[in-house]
Structure 1
Amino acid sequence: MGWAFLTLAGMFEVVGVIGMNKVSKHRNLQSFIILFGGMIMSFGFLSQAMKTLPMGTAYAIWTGIGTVGGTLVGIFFYGESNDWKRILFISMVLAAAIGLKLIS
């Protein structure tokens, strides 16, 4: 169950990052709700995941999901660069996360 909570935590971190982007462009109530709602849910699920998973593994996976997810949202929805080097390093983050899952 810890891995399911961790996956949800990472997904909500991406929602929080989307909220940060929205707040930086439009300071309105909806943007702040997305930001704070995403982060509150993310930290809540992360704390649940850390009840059964080692702290270092949980934190590394959580930040990895947020990093990769935020980058992919930027590429697909905000027109950020999709240079092959960015894709290579995103793949390396994913490989590290998969490796941590396999050894945990």
Structure 2
Amino acid sequence: MNWIILILAGVMEILMVTALKKADSFKNKKWTIIWFILSMMSLFLLSVAIKTIPLGTAYGVWTGIGAMGSVIVGMVFYHEKVSLLKIVFVTCIIISIAGLKIV
């Protein structure tokens, strides 16, 4: 169950970073509030997950999901440059997350 909670924390991290972009350096109050709520949700879920998942593993998976998802969101929704190297490195993150789960 805590692995599902950790994955949800990672998804909240992706949404949080997306809200941060929309907040426009905290000028947009609506998106700033959304960013704050998502940040707290992400950290809360991470704190629950680290009760049973080793800290280093949980943090690595959490940040990996956030980084990977943010790159994908940037490419899909914000038309950031798509390159073979980006895809290779995002794939490395996915493999690393799976590796941490296995060990």
Q: TM-score range by the shorter chain?
A: over 0.9
Once the 2 structures are TM-superposed, how far is the Cα of residue 27 of structure 1 from its aligned partner?
1.9
* Residue 27 to residue 97, structure 1, CA distance change in 2 (3 Å): same
Q: Structure 1-normalised TM-score?
A: 0.94
Q: Deviations over 1:3-24 (max 9, x none)?
A: 0110010000011101110112
Report sequence identity in percent.
40
Once the 2 structures are TM-superposed, how far is the Cα of residue 28 of structure 1 from its aligned partner?
2.1
Structure 1 segments (4+ residues) deviating >3 Å: none
Runs of 5+ unmatched residues, structure 1? none
**Aligned counterparts of 1:49 and 1:25: Cα–Cα separation in 2:** 30
Output the amino acid matched with 1:90: V
**Aligned counterparts of 1:94 and 1:23: Cα–Cα separation in 2:** 28
After superposition, residues 1-104 of structure 1 pair within 5 angstroms as 1-24=1-24, 27-103=27-103
Q: Secondary structure at the match of 1:76?
A: helix
Number of equivalent positions: 103
Output the amino acid matched with 2:99: G
Runs of 5+ unmatched residues, structure 2? none
Instruction: Provide the aligned C-alpha RMSD in A.
Output: 1.2
